[in-house]
Amino acid sequence: MQVNNQTTQEMDNTFDAIVIGSGISGGWAAKELCEKGLKTLVLERGRPVKHMADYPTAMKNPWDFKYRGDLSKQVKENDPIVDKCYAYEEATEHFFVKDHEHPYVQEKPFDWIKGYQEGGKSLIWARQTQRWSDFEFEAPKRDGFAVDWPIRYKDLEKWYSHVEEFVGISGNKDGIANLPDSEVLPPFELNCVEKAIQEKVKENYENRHVIIGRCAHLTEPKEIHIQQGRGKCQARHLCYRGCPFGAYFSSNSSTLPWAEKTGNLTIRTNSVVHSIIYDETQKKAIGVKVIDTETKAETEFYAKIIFVNAATLNTNLILLNSKSERFPNGLGNDNGLLGKYVGFHNYRGNILADYDGFEDQYYYGRRPTTAFIPSFKNVFKQDSDFLRGYMVAFGASRKNWGQGNGKEGFGADFKNDLTKPGGWQVFMMIQGETIPKEANHVRLSETEKDDWGIPQLVTSIEYDDNDEKMLQDFFKEGEEMLAKSGCTNIRPWDTKQAPGLDIHEMGGVRMGHDPKTSLLNKHNQLHNCKNVFVTDGACMTSMGNQNPSLTFMAITARAANFAAEEIKKGNL
């Protein structure tokens, strides 16, 4: 009788596919697999968050908050890592993991920003979306670092379009070789100062282009977006609270509800994945071991295929902790490279400048994107003393925009002054590619465990000389571009922030041709365990300079469709 009960329980816990994580890539895996008819279980370690119903601060006014949007001194002192994040404030703190809630060991300083809830960090991402080009996919082979990507732009091109049409990307078709055009909705506009800078950059530089940022916002919803129940962006720029209009893309407003409509989706929240279960006899993964965050009860779930989309560092952690007789050092880790070659984006460079003129002009709304200058160094040839390049983001605003930060004064005169816009200022920042190195790695702690009995993650990641050279080049080129554009009082500074605060960590489970030098093949399958797929940031072989989330989504859609076809053929 006991055997029959166990068999019944296993049947209840058996699915065609398991997706670990419900964020940007996990949501896409769920959507694609469910649409293909696969009964799919999505495991999320955080709490349930339903679109609209669970955005408690979305419609609040500044005066509705105790600290007017800021956080108390005690909260800041208790959680100094997450407090560094640009989107973390009184109105959004419920979507962020506090420092004590999931500790880790910083062998070298690394600011790990986490969002554990249904939808993951798709609720709090910055929504910038750019395609990669072959200048990125071919870079490791051309420049002699990491390993060669097993895919090229042509492999992802149709999947970029597939994702963009469903997500909704506002922007222009800019015709830039190293930033392929997307399927776009009408763009947001550059303001008058940004347009003036655009003209000056065009006038002074042959291969530099000022564009409006392409972003995952519905400026004019199409039928596919209306079917999702999403509406037009109101340019409130309160996005990190959760968008009640569904105007920006998130798993909660888009992919997860779409998957649910198929009748093939099961979501289990408050479920920490301890490890993936490998069957020595069948020579494949058969399921996952899960710990309930509230009861600490352990449960096993089973499936033909497993997609690991827990976000880069947690994906590495899960695979490292998935030990068996066959894989004593982590699932698929015959070559010892699991957790190594982790990269990120260099955000340390900022420049602030003044701009005289246009004081009779203003702007309206709170545009949820900014101006960009796509990478212009080391693109067509090696023309600098560092490898790879950087994208520049910048924006112009009136100095009293917002709360008049930094303005001195008190009383009636001070308040009256705040009603009058000051002159213009321009803020510029770097988004630089880093070179993945074996020394930049994560591993499991041998002594420290978390509340669920899982080893804590050790982060050992740092900048190198290449990053420093790139940073100095940005300062030189950025100051020159601003000066030639008519800016004055140009002030550059190095934030000296630790890696991680960019929230663009990638790698550790990289793709490649050779099982001796990589973990995943061209279809994102583990070389040595073909029914396990990794399609979040952990799969990235190199880092590019573009915002990475669009590429994560395209890679996920491609791999999920491949997996579904392989199941139909009986290969998985």
User: Is 439 a domain residue?
Assistant: no
User: Is 368 a domain residue?
Assistant: yes
- The 3-state DSSP class for residue 477 equals helix
Helices and strands in the chain, H and E counts? 13, 20
Over residues 225-238, mean pLDDT: 97
Q: Do the strands 455-460 and 105-106 form a parallel or antiparallel pair, or are they unpaired?
A: parallel
User: Is 393 a domain residue?
Assistant: yes
Over residues 60-81, mean pLDDT: 92
pLDDT tens, 17-44? 999 999 999 999 999 999 999 999 999 9
Query: Would you place residue 405 in the very low, low, confident or very high pLDDT band (cuts 50, 70, 90)?
Result: low
Number of domains in the chain: 1
Mean pLDDT score of the chain: 95
* DSSP symbols for 377-430: SSSSS--SSSSS-EEEEEEEEETTSTT-TT----HHHHHHHHTS---EEEEEEE
Query: Would you place residue 516 in the very low, low, confident or very high pLDDT band (cuts 50, 70, 90)?
Result: very high
Contact 175, 222 (CB under 8 A): no
Over residues 400-420, mean pLDDT: 69
Q: What pTM, to 2 d.p., does this model score? A: 0.96
Contact 376, 207 (CB under 8 A): yes
pLDDT for 2: 36
- Structural domain range at position 385: 190-214+345-433+463-498
Dihedral sign (CA 54, 60, 230, 535): negative
> What proportion of the chain, given as a percentage, has pLDDT over 90?
92
pLDDT for 11: 77
Query: Would you place residue 347 in the very low, low, confident or very high pLDDT band (cuts 50, 70, 90)?
Result: very high
Contact 535, 524 (CB under 8 A): yes
User: Is 299 a domain residue?
Assistant: no
Q: Do the strands 40-43 and 265-268 form a parallel or antiparallel pair, or are they unpaired?
A: parallel
Query: Would you place residue 433 in the very low, low, confident or very high pLDDT band (cuts 50, 70, 90)?
Result: very high
Contact 424, 347 (CB under 8 A): no
> What proportion of the chain, given as a percentage, has pLDDT over 70?
97
Query: Would you place residue 3 in the very low, low, confident or very high pLDDT band (cuts 50, 70, 90)?
Result: very low
Identify which has the larger pLDDT, 7 or 345.
345
Indicate if the pLDDT at residue 408 is higher than 80.
no
pLDDT for 182: 98
Query: Would you place residue 401 in the very low, low, confident or very high pLDDT band (cuts 50, 70, 90)?
Result: low
Identify which has the larger pLDDT, 3 or 268.
268
pLDDT tens, 439-477? 999 999 999 999 999 999 999 999 999 999 999 999 999
Over residues 514-521, mean pLDDT: 98
User: Is 52 a domain residue?
Assistant: no
pLDDT for 419: 75
pLDDT for 69: 86
pLDDT for 434: 98
User: Is 319 a domain residue?
Assistant: no
Cα separation of 179 and 172, whole Å?
11
User: Is 210 a domain residue?
Assistant: yes
- The 3-state DSSP class for residue 445 equals strand
pLDDT for 101: 96
Query: Would you place residue 9 in the very low, low, confident or very high pLDDT band (cuts 50, 70, 90)?
Result: low
Contact 249, 216 (CB under 8 A): yes
Indicate if the pLDDT at residue 213 is higher than 50.
yes
pLDDT for 407: 64
Over residues 118-141, mean pLDDT: 98
Dihedral sign (CA 92, 94, 95, 96): positive
User: Is 122 a domain residue?
Assistant: no
Indicate if the pLDDT at residue 482 is higher than 60.
yes
Cα separation of 282 and 304, whole Å?
12
